[in-house]
Amino acid sequence: MNIINRLIGEIYGSTFPSGHLQRLHALIAAARTGIHPPRKAHWDEKDVVLITYADQVREDNTPTLTTFSCFYRQYLQASFNLVHLLPFFPSSSDDGFAVIDYHQVNPPYGGWQEIADLHQHTRLMFDFVCNHMSAHSSWFSHYLAQDVGWDDFFISQPPTADLSAVTRPRTSPLLTPFVLADGKTRFIWTTFSADQVDLNYANPDVLLNMVRVLLDYLQRGADYLRLDAVGYMWKTPGTSCIHLEKTHLLVKLFRAIIDKVAAGAVLLTETNVPHRDNIRYFGNGRDEAQMVYQFPLPPLVLHAIHRGSSRALRHWASSLDGGGGSTTFFNFLASHDGIGLNPLRGILPEGEIIALAQDLAQEGAQISWKTDTDGTSSPYEINVTYLDALNKQQDSDDTRLQRFLLAHGLLLAFPGVPAVYVQSILGSRNDIEGMKVTGQNRAINRQKYALCDIRRALATTGSLRQRIYTALSQLIQVRKGQPAFHPDNPMRLVDSDDTLLVMQRQAKDPQDTLWCVFNVSASTVSYRLPEPRDYHDAIGGEKIDGKQDMALGAWQFRWLRA
């Protein structure tokens, strides 16, 4: 407990009451006795994550978690051994991220028993929505009612406060007016929307309540915990209020608690920011998050395929360091959010970032904007399915499939643990109607399905959806059988023409080492491997003479073993 006491001291100094410290240790001690069995000790090449909503598939008169569990076992279990269930708690907006009650399952989804039933078939990742909660929550109702003990749970500022330095991820107002029981108006800190009120971690009572949430999720079986919007947790007016030192200390405290009660559980931080800020959440490699999102990967892969050039992707990838076994990257191409552009800043010139956004907007994507500190706006996120992001509207299905598999071949080859969004494995296109109905750009990539409809679509031979589901499922199976793709194995990039990206994934056994060659262009390209020997393609099984030039067709890739 010395680490926990030290971190509490660094965060709160003398403002953390001794009684609160005793309650904190009592919570931790109680949780240690109730958490069984132990988690998987580490990650390996067989770990592939599915990102999905708890109500992704539906049928009448059945909890959606029950329906999803059935669908998962039939269509997805062979590919994915860990499921990231996006927030499944009662919520008032933002598709679950405005949490009303952290400790309950949204009734239409089922209850904790349905979560436990799904956990019998897969490991699970829960969202720990640690920065904010719903303005319709009981916690905020207590605050508005000015009940005893709730006054400092949220953050109020006078409307005249100079908050110009605060980093803004949205164009919505930072402060939202609310009327309290005494009839007076307070302006409450709302980083993401008027319905999402930020918690005040400077109040020790808030920390205790959020630790209870953290421990509850571990006791409910969470193997991974995703810290949503974690970079904004601590606020100090006059600063950027993002990535502050006390935010990092809070993450270290969460990590210390997790290590104490649930060894093997993994902490994943969600910080959609430039790469150098993102990897700071690794801490010293052993005291903060074990995983961080690889946020530059989705837009850089997209940029490479759109431009037919791997130059920017290759240059960025050459500098990656996953942490030597104690940390690794959480790699993905698509998620419930859009394709973030902030991580590109510092990697690509601003003109190229804007051009990429404009190109996609012409093909039906939606662009979300943020307010910069100088009052101007810049593109923050592209809202689109990854399938449609890769292609033009007039492209053939064959071209769509080739580009899509190339992108996922890159995803599955990069060092780290790969994650695939459910819309990707299901071959989903832009949901324009859903976006119109909700009025939300992100709904374009959040379509939900009746179970009978999605089963029928996946059984339709020759359809793009069926072809993508089959081909991507097969590619994941091949990936899981390659020891070279263990997340801890190093990647060596080899100089090549810009139309190619060539990497070697070096396994402990040289016989398992892979050469991965990707043609990101629309042209046929020839390439000779640096090591002249005979190879076979782990994907297609063909024999390749490494002493001669190898031809790769448009958007073709190979994973080659000696």
If you average pLDDT over residues 153-173, what whole number do you get?
A: 94
Answer yes or no: are the C-beta atoms of 88 and 115 closer than 8 Å.
Answer: yes
Average pLDDT, the chain: 95
CA 417-114-469 angle, 5° bins: 45
Answer yes or no: are the C-beta atoms of 553 and 523 closer than 8 Å.
Answer: no
Strand partners, 370: 378
Q: Quick one: DSSP state of residue 32?
A: H
For residue 451, give the nearest of 129, 95, 87, 66 by alpha carbon: 66
Separation of CA 417 from chain center: 11
Evaluate the CA torsion angle 248, 250, 252, 254 in order and state its sign.
negative
Q: What is the 3-state secondary structure (H, E, C) of 87-113?
A: CCCCECCHHHCCECCCCCCCHHHCCHH
Distance (Å, whole) CA 516 – CA 537: 10
Evaluate the CA torsion angle 27, 29, 34, 39 in order and state its sign.
positive
For residue 316, give the nearest of 325, 335, 334, 329 by alpha carbon: 329
Count the alpha carbons within 13 Å of 314 in the hemisphere toward its beta carbon: 23
**What was the pLDDT predicted at 376?**
78
Active site residues: 228
pLDDT-derived band at 323 (thresholds 50, 70, 90) equals low
Distance (Å, whole) CA 277 – CA 557: 32
With a cut of 70, say whether residue 474 has pLDDT above it: yes
Q: Is 558 helix (H, G, I), strand (E, B) or coil?
A: strand
Answer yes or no: are the C-beta atoms of 558 and 552 closer than 8 Å.
Answer: yes
pLDDT-derived band at 211 (thresholds 50, 70, 90) equals very high
Ranges in the chain annotated CATH 3.20.20.80: 292-447
With a cut of 60, say whether residue 179 has pLDDT above it: yes
Distance (Å, whole) CA 412 – CA 470: 16
Separation of CA 172 from chain center: 23
CATH hierarchy code of domain 292-447: 3.20.20.80
For residue 86, give the nearest of 436, 435, 423, 431 by alpha carbon: 423
Query: What confidence tens digit (pLDDT) does each residue in 36-84 have?
Result: 878 998 999 999 999 999 999 999 999 999 999 999 999 999 999 999 9
**What was the pLDDT predicted at 32?**
93
**What was the pLDDT predicted at 372?**
75
CB within 8 Å of 88: residues ≥ 6 apart = 53, 54, 65, 96, 105, 106, 109, 115
Encoded tokens for 132: 């904010």
pLDDT-derived band at 134 (thresholds 50, 70, 90) equals very high
Radius of gyration of the chain (CA): 24
The reply to whether CATH 3.40.50.300 applies to domain 491-561 is: no
End-to-end, the C-alpha distance of the chain in Å comes to 50
Which stretches of 363-431 are DSSP H helices?
386-389, 397-413, 422-425
**What was the pLDDT predicted at 137?**
98
If you average pLDDT over residues 337-347, what whole number do you get?
A: 91
Distance (Å, whole) CA 305 – CA 406: 9
Q: Could you count the other beta carbons within 10 Å of the beta carbon of residue 376?
A: 9
**What was the pLDDT predicted at 322?**
56
Query: What confidence tens digit (pLDDT) does each residue in 389-447 have?
Result: 999 999 999 999 999 999 999 999 999 999 999 999 999 999 999 999 999 999 999 99
Answer yes or no: are the C-beta atoms of 272 and 340 closer than 8 Å.
Answer: yes
Tell me what percent of the residues of the chain surpass a pLDDT of 90: 91
CB within 8 Å of 2: residues ≥ 6 apart = none
Query: What confidence tens digit (pLDDT) does each residue in 270-297 have?
Result: 998 888 899 999 999 899 999 999 999 9
Separation of CA 441 from chain center: 18
**What was the pLDDT predicted at 377?**
79
CA 312-318-324 angle, 5° bins: 145
- Please report, as a single letter, which amino acid is at residue 91: S
CA distances from 129 to 79, 158, 193, 217 (A): 27, 26, 14, 12
Distance (Å, whole) CA 250 – CA 13: 13
Answer yes or no: are the C-beta atoms of 224 and 123 closer than 8 Å.
Answer: yes
**What was the pLDDT predicted at 34?**
85
Distance (Å, whole) CA 135 – CA 193: 10
Answer yes or no: are the C-beta atoms of 296 and 316 closer than 8 Å.
Answer: yes
Ranges in the chain annotated CATH 2.60.40.1180: 491-561
Q: Is 232 helix (H, G, I), strand (E, B) or coil?
A: helix
Strand partners, 551: 526
Answer yes or no: are the C-beta atoms of 59 and 451 closer than 8 Å.
Answer: yes
What angle, 0 to 180 degrees and rounded to 10, lies between the N-to-C axes of helices 204-219 and 18-34?
0
CA distances from 284 to 118, 127, 225, 280, 324 (A): 35, 24, 19, 8, 12
In this structure, of 271-280, 458-467, 502-511, 546-555, the range with the lowest mean pLDDT score is 271-280
- Strands of 534-537's sheet, edge to edge? 491-494, 500-505, 514-519, 557-561, 534-537, 543-545
What angle, 0 to 180 degrees and rounded to 10, lies between the N-to-C axes of helices 64-71 and 451-458?
20
